[in-house]
Structures are given as structure tokens and as C-alpha cells.
């Protein structure tokens, strides 16, 4: 099986008064059509890793890599035209808060159909139909109403589902989801995950699931990369997370309170400077 995405030695640096600061320091991984989780705390570089794959490192940051290949295409050398074909068409990204990613003065329907038509040269009617189909796919009960609604008229869960529908309308081969469910209630969270899950298993999409929530990621993904201070400290199979070896992963897992009760006081994470080297 050839890799869908292959990243080798990804580095992202931001300039500062004291010289460049690296927020991602040599991240490498390869993935196929699977669910890959990237877990880390704030500042671990997990979100920047996701953005860099799409070439969306915010300036003045600079991303470099020895290898950054998507389905055989070298993304480092991609021209503007190639990026247009890739972004939104073959790789999509879902952000944490739908409020910032949806255009507030355009109806959901218009945003959905326009995304589709820019990539597929479809007629208006076809796009409309396709949009309704996608809203159905993300389990929105009354898609006609949502099509004519503005983003602020939707609840958080609805907005996030509409956002996912928009990202999926072009049937991307890879979806990068950055904390897609963190703003949602637990019960809605499970529903959104079910949609993503179905897309991976039924359409063979690759999914990078970026989150701070170790427990959620481990219960959803196949493999988990644990990031700390810009590096991947451990890669574990999701089912074997309880047997993780790196003290950071262990610490992160143990410091979560449990419904069944556990240690009191909670074990805290003792950070070792050596982890960041």
C-alpha cells in the first residue's frame, strides 16, 4: 500500500527578537486511509503540524520538511494551481470553532454549493442537490431549513456539522480535523464522530484527528501520535494506550480524573526537561 501522506522531518519556525523559535521540531509520520490521532497539550505544535500539511502556516512562520508528499505529489514544490486542486478538493480541514470558519453573511446553502461549483463545474441544480445530500449525510434533520440559514442561526453542533458537510462536499481523500468536537457537548460529540467514522470506513478517506483529549482520541482513532514541545514523543496503537511507554503519555493519561474514582490527590505530571530535547 502506498502512503496517502508522508511527512518527514517537518519543522516550523517563527522569527522572534531572540532569533527563530521552532514550534515543530522534526515531525515524521506516514499514513494511509486510516484514522490518525495527534494529541498534545497547548503549545505542543499539533495544530501547526496540521496547518503545515495544507501549506497554511501563518506568516511570518516558515515550514520546512525533508519530505511532504500527498499521494505522490510533493507538496513542498506545489504551484498555486496545484494547491487550488488540492485544497478543499482532495484535502480538507475542519477547524475547532465553526463561527470563525463559516462566512457570517452567506447562507449555508450558498457556501456549500459554491464550494462544490468552484471545484466541479456543476450546474446550480446539481450543486443544490449535492449540498442537501451532504447535509443529510452529516445527520442534519431538516436540510432545507439549514440550506437557507445563516451561520448565526445555527446552534454550535449544527454549525459544526454544516462545516463538516462543507468540507466533505468535494469528497476529499484526506480530512484534517483540528479539535472538531471540542466546542460541542458530549452527546453531540459522539454523533459528529460517528459521521467522521463512517466517512473513513465507507469512503476510504484518511483522517487526521488533532485534539488535546487523549481519552477521546484513543477511543476513536487507530493510531495516536503524542506530541510534546514540537516533537512526537511516542506513537501508540489506540487500543494499547494504557500500555504506553513514554512517561509523558503515561502522565497525561493518569492525571485525568475518573468517574469510577481513583487516586486522591490526582497524580500530576512531572515534566522532565529531557523530553523537550
Mind giving me the DSSP string for the chain? ---SEEEEEEEEEE--TTS-EEEEEEEEEEE-SSEEEEE--TTSSHHHHHHHHTT-PPTT-EEE-SEEEETTEEGGG--HHHHHHHBTTTEEEE-S-HHHHS-TTS-HHHHHHHHHHHHH---HHHHHHHHHHHHHHTT-S-HHHHHT--GGGS-HHHHHHHHHHHHHTT--SEEEEESTTTTS-HHHHHHHHHHHHHHHHHH--EEEEEES-HHHHHHH-SEEEEEETTEEEEEEEGGGGGG--SHHHHHHHHTS--TT---SSPPPP---GGGG-
Q: Does 79 bind another protein (CB under 8 A)?
A: no
Q: Name the segment binding another protein (CB under 8 A); options: 7-15, 64-72, 172-180, 190-198.
A: 190-198
- Residue 170: CB minimum distance to another protein, A: 26
Binds another protein by CB under 8 A, chosen from 28, 73, 128, 219: 219
Q: Does 276 bind another protein (CB under 8 A)?
A: no
Q: Does 193 bind another protein (CB under 8 A)?
A: yes
Q: Name the segment binding another protein (CB under 8 A); options: 102-110, 122-130, 143-151, 184-192.
A: 184-192
- Residue 98: CB minimum distance to another protein, A: 14
Residue with cell 501508540: 236
The number of angstroms, rounded, from the C-alpha of 214 to the middle of its chain's C-alpha atoms is 14
- Residue 218: CB minimum distance to another protein, A: 7
- Residue 124: CB minimum distance to another protein, A: 36
- Residue 48: CB minimum distance to another protein, A: 16
- Residue 221: CB minimum distance to another protein, A: 9
Binds another protein by CB under 8 A, chosen from 16, 18, 42, 77: 42
Please give the residues from 245 up to 274 whose contact with another protein meets the rule CB under 8 A: 251-252, 255-262, 264-269
Residues 153, 146 contacting (CB under 8 angstroms): no
Q: Does 139 bind another protein (CB under 8 A)?
A: no
Binds another protein by CB under 8 A, chosen from 8, 212, 223, 246: 212
Residue 19 or 265 having the CB closest to another protein: 265
Q: Does 218 bind another protein (CB under 8 A)?
A: yes
Residue 17 or 124 having the CB closest to another protein: 17
Residues of this chain that interact with another protein (CB under 8 A) are: 41-42, 156, 185-187, 189-190, 193-194, 197, 212-216, 218-220, 251-252, 255-262, 264-269
Amino acid at each position: 500500500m502506498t502512503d496517502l501522506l508522508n511527512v518527514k522531518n517537518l519543522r516550523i519556525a517563527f522569527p522572534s527578537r531572540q532569533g527563530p523559535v521552532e514550534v515543530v521540531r522534526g515531525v515524521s509520520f506516514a499514513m494511509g486511509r486510516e484514522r490518525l490521532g495527534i494529541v498534545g497539550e497547548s503549545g505542543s505544535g499539533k495544530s501547526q503540524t496540521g496547518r503545515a500539511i495544507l501549506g497554511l502556516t501563518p506568516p511570518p512562520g516558515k515550514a520546512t520538511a525533508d519530505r511532504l508528499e500527498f499521494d505522490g505529489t510533493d507538496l513542498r514544490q506545489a504551484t498555486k494551481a496545484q494547491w487550488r486542486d488540492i485544497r478543499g478538493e482532495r484535502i480538507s480541514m475542519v477547524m475547532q470553532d465553526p463561527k470563525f470558519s463559516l462566512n457570517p453573511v452567506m447562507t449555508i446553502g450558498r457556501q456549500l454549493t459554491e464550494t462544490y461549483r468552484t471545484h466541479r463545474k456543476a450546474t446550480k441544480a446539481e450543486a443544490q442537490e449535492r449540498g442537501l445530500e451532504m447535509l443529510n449525510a452529516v445527520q442534519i434533520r431538516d436540510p432545507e431549513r439549514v440550506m437557507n440559514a445563516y451561520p448565526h442561526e445555527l446552534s454550535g453542533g449544527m454549525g459544526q456539522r454544516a462545516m463538516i458537510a462543507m468540507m466533505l462536499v468535494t469528497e476529499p481523500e484526506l480530512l484534517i480535523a483540528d479539535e472538531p468536537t471540542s466546542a460541542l457537548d458530549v452527546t453531540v460529540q459522539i454523533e459528529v464522530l460517528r459521521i467522521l467514522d463512517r466517512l473513513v470506513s465507507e469512503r476510504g478517506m484518511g483522517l487526521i484527528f488533532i485534539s488535546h483529549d487523549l481519552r477521546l482520541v484513543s477511543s476513536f482513532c487507530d493510531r495516536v501520535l503524542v506530541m510534546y514541545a514540537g516533537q512526537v514523543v511516542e506513537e501508540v496503537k489506540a487500543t494499547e494506550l494504557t500500555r504506553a511507554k513514554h512517561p509523558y503519555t503515561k502522565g497525561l493519561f493518569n492525571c485525568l480524573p475518573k468517574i469510577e474514582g481513583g487516586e486522591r490527590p490526582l497524580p500530576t505530571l512531572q515534566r522532565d526537561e529531557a523530553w523537550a530535547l
